[in-house]
Homo-oligomer: A and B are copies of this chain.
Amino acid sequence: MARITLDEFRKIMETSLPIGLMLGAEPILIEERRAVFRLPFREDSLRPGGSIAGPMLMGLADVVIYAAILGTVEGALQAVTSNLTMNFLRRVPPGPIIAEGRLLRVGRRLAFGEVELFAEGDPEMVAHATLTYALPAPAT
């Protein structure tokens, strides 16, 4: 059972995560330890050469793991990224992106997850990210 619904996460993006809106990231699924997002295509996400710009994918990966953490840990709104490592494996053609994230470790202070990114409809991974988030101290 996820600790947050898709609608609740959309609300968080609207009220306090404008970068999520700026990217246009859409939550498809948020479960305990797992989240999937879709990034619709926008002309202004291209870079020289006509592929999708890296920062769009970095931002997307970051939001996906944040959502997976909110789906798993009570009261983790203040969780913050401490490390992101992203590898770009292929040029990303213009079109929507699917990002599938899962948490591999949820500790008391840190959560660690990985994200696989795909051009929609193509099974070849276009990018891969690992992220560590620092979790807020539990309220007492």
Interface residues of A, Cβ cutoff 8 Å to B: 12, 16-19, 21-23, 43-49, 51, 53-56, 58-59, 62-63, 77-78, 80-91, 104-105, 107, 109-110, 112, 114, 124-125, 128, 130, 132
Residues of B within 8 A of A114 (CB): 114, 128
A85 contact set on B, CB distance < 8 A = 83-86, 130
- Offer 8 A-B interface pairs, CB within 8 angstroms, sorted by A: A19-B44, A19-B47, A48-B77, A54-B84, A82-B110, A84-B85, A85-B85, A85-B130
Q: Which single member of B88, B110, B130 contacts A128 (CB below 8 Å)? A: B130
Q: Is the interface of A mostly helix, strand, loop or mixed?
A: mixed
List B contacts of A90 (CB < 8 A).
105, 107
Partner of A87, one of B18, B51, B56, B132: B132
Provide the residues of chain B in CB contact with A45, threshold 8 Å.
18-19
Q: How far is the CA of A17 from the CA of B55 in the complex (A)?
A: 11
User: In the complex, which residues of chain B have a beta carbon less than 8 angstroms from the beta carbon of A84?
Assistant: 54, 58, 84-86
Contact, CB under 8 Å: A48 / B82: no
Residues of the B chain whose Cβ atoms lie less than 8 Å from the Cβ of A125:
104-105
